[in-house]
Amino acid sequence: MCTGVYPGSFDPITNGHIDIIERSAKLFDKLIVAVLNNHDKKSLFTTEERIMMIREATAHIPNIEVEYFCGLLMEFARLKQARVIIRGLRAVSDFEYELQMALMNKKLAEDIETVFIMTNCHYSYLSSSIVKEVASLKGCVKELVPPNVATRLRDKFAD
C-alpha cells in the first residue's frame, strides 16, 4: 500500500490544487489531502469549511482522504505510514521556500521524500490569496475554483 500526502493550507482550494490532486492520486494507492489546522494563521475559512470544500470538490476521485493535521507534517506522515509528500510547483518564485521546507522535512524524517509536481500552465498564476483578493472585490472567480468554492466565496464576501 503506497500512501502519499498532499499538505497545504487550502484556504480555499483552487483549480490548481485540484489539478495536482487529480494527477497525484494516480501515483498512489491512497492520497491524503492534509489540511493545516493552524490557529496562529489567519484563515478566511475554518478548517472544517476547508475540509468540506475539498471533500465536495474531490468526490469524483476514489482514492482520496481529506484530513486535518496540527504540528509537524512529518509526524502526520509517519502516523499515516506515508513515504511521499507531494507539493505543487508553479513558478521559480516558489522554489526557494519549497526547497527550504523539503530540506527541513528531510532532516526531520530521512525516510520520507518530497516529490514536486509542476503546475498545469493554465494555473501557474493561481493562488488561494489572489483568488480571495479577487472574490473580496466582487470579481469573477468561476474559472479559478471549483463551483462549490465559488459559491462559498460569494457568500463570505456578500454584503
Interacting residues with ligand PNS between 5 and 64 (CB under 6 A): 7-9, 36
Stretch that binds ligand PNS, among 43-51, 53-61, 99-107, 113-121 (CB under 6 A): 99-107
Instruction: Tell me, yes or no, if 30 is annotated catalytic.
Output: no
Place of cell 497525484: 24
Interacting residues with ligand PNS between 55 and 74 (CB under 6 A): 72-73
Q: Please give the grid coordinates belonging to residue 143.
A: 474559472
Residue among 24, 128, 132, 152 flagged as catalytic: 128
Site string for ligand PNS, 71-90 (x = CB under 6 A): -xx-----------------
Map residue 111 onto helix, strand or coil: coil
d(CA 23, CA 20): 5
CB of 71 to ligand PNS, least distance (A): 7
Sheet holding 84-89, edge to edge: 64-69, 30-36, 3-8, 84-89, 113-118
Place of cell 471549483: 146
Q: Which residues are known catalytic residues?
A: 17, 41, 90, 128
